[in-house]
Amino acid sequence: MTKRWKFSLAGSLLALLLSSSAMAEEWVYNPAVEESPAPAYAPPACDECCDCCSKDLLLGFIAPTDTRWANFISPMTNPVFFEDPRTLTEARFIFIDHQIPDLAGGAIPASKLQVLAVQLRAALTEDLSLIATKDGYIFPTGIAPLDDGWADVALGLKYNLWKDVECQRILSAGVTFELPIGSPQALQGNGSGEFNLFASYGAEFGNCNHLITTAGFRLPTDTVDENQIFYWSAHVDQPIGNSRFYAFAEGNWYHWMKDGGNAAFDGIQGTDLFNFGSTGVAGTDIVTGALGLKYRPSDLREIGVAFEVPLTDERGVLQNRLTLDYIIRY
């Protein structure tokens, strides 16, 4: 996929979303009409609070999404580890087009890979949720240093530690464990598992702006096959007028705390999708930045696009990345 094709795809998607929004009819109240037509959806005001989520349960034990945070949108980059602090019941479909730079001083030429994945989250109570943050299939193209295969699978729990609905602030913490059951030819399945301990905070500020930030530690049980990594991600968004569109910016910082024992990836960092257990990476840092757009057809749907690049000389396996997602919530 050339860069021109990739930008055309993103442009076509945004044009489609904009045209669909422009076609929406605006409802105007007419007191002369006894039975007024149902108004079109309008985003709730920032100082309004929706009713508490329904007490009904899905399948007897899964609760619906708490809609009192309906003005927030979920972050997109660092998708495995950048966790939304809200309690959600959702399926999130993700497509990633990931460009890989030259590696090992040019010994491995630039290439790319694509990923299709589905994340699942289920609210078990008003504060506790089950999260499945990593899975999917990896499709390398060109001369990539890996082959097609399944990604590892990560599961865990997230809990709301504190929330202020009136001020639209929420703090959560959680843990996931990555099962090394992916395909070795896709550079998955190494090690004996990895814990991810994280905290996530969200707040509304200004004119319906939102901040979401997550920090965490990736702690493998085998520090020879996988690296210990600290990460910090941040998201800021702004609604575009009274439309259903949001513009947003995101940043991610990865810090490698300890070398592994895999000399084949000496000096090569794996960022979010991979953990190579590389030698020669302790103390190194990678910072990435992204710009994106999200469209919310309703309070329970999101469609997003984001383009991400490294902002540091260190870039690991990331040259640039295009991410698309579609979220369906209950």
- Of 247, 173, 243, the closest CA to residue 210 belongs to 247
Token pair belonging to 200: 């996530």
Contact status, residue 305 vs residue 14, Cβ threshold 8 Å: yes
- Give the burial string for 182-194 (b: 16+ CB within 10 Å, else e): bbeebbbbbbebb
- Is position 35 within any domain? no
Burial (0-12, 13-18, 19+ Cβ within 10 Å), 161:
middle
Question: What backbone phi and psi angles, to 5 degrees, belong to 211?
Answer: -120, 130
- Is position 95 within any domain? yes
- Of 116, 131, 124, the closest CA to residue 83 belongs to 131
DSSP code for 283: T
pTM greater than 0.85: no
Q: From CA 329, how far away is CA 240, in angstroms rounded?
A: 22
Could you read off the pLDDT of 291-311 as tens digits, one per residue? 999 999 999 999 999 999 999
Confidence class for position 10, pLDDT limits 50, 70, 90: very low
- ∠ CA 57-76-218 to the nearest 5 degrees? 90
- Is position 196 within any domain? yes
- Total of domains in the chain: 1
Better-scored residue on pLDDT, 17 or 307 = 307
Could you read off the pLDDT of 190-229 as tens digits, one per residue? 999 999 999 999 999 998 999 999 999 999 999 999 999 9
| Residue range 102-111: mean pLDDT, rounded | 82
166 CB neighbour count, 10 Å cutoff: 9
- Is position 28 within any domain? no
- Is position 222 within any domain? yes
How many residues does the structure list for the chain? 330
**pLDDT value of residue 61:** 86
- Is position 139 within any domain? yes
End-to-end CA distance of the chain: 35
Q: From CA 175, how far away is CA 220, in angstroms rounded?
A: 13
Could you read off the pLDDT of 251-298 as tens digits, one per residue? 999 999 999 999 999 999 999 999 999 999 999 999 999 999 999 999
Burial (0-12, 13-18, 19+ Cβ within 10 Å), 44:
middle
18 CB neighbour count, 10 Å cutoff: 15
- Is position 203 within any domain? yes
Domain region containing 304: 3-21+53-329
Task: Report the CATH number at residue 253.
Answer: 2.40.160.40
- Is position 33 within any domain? no
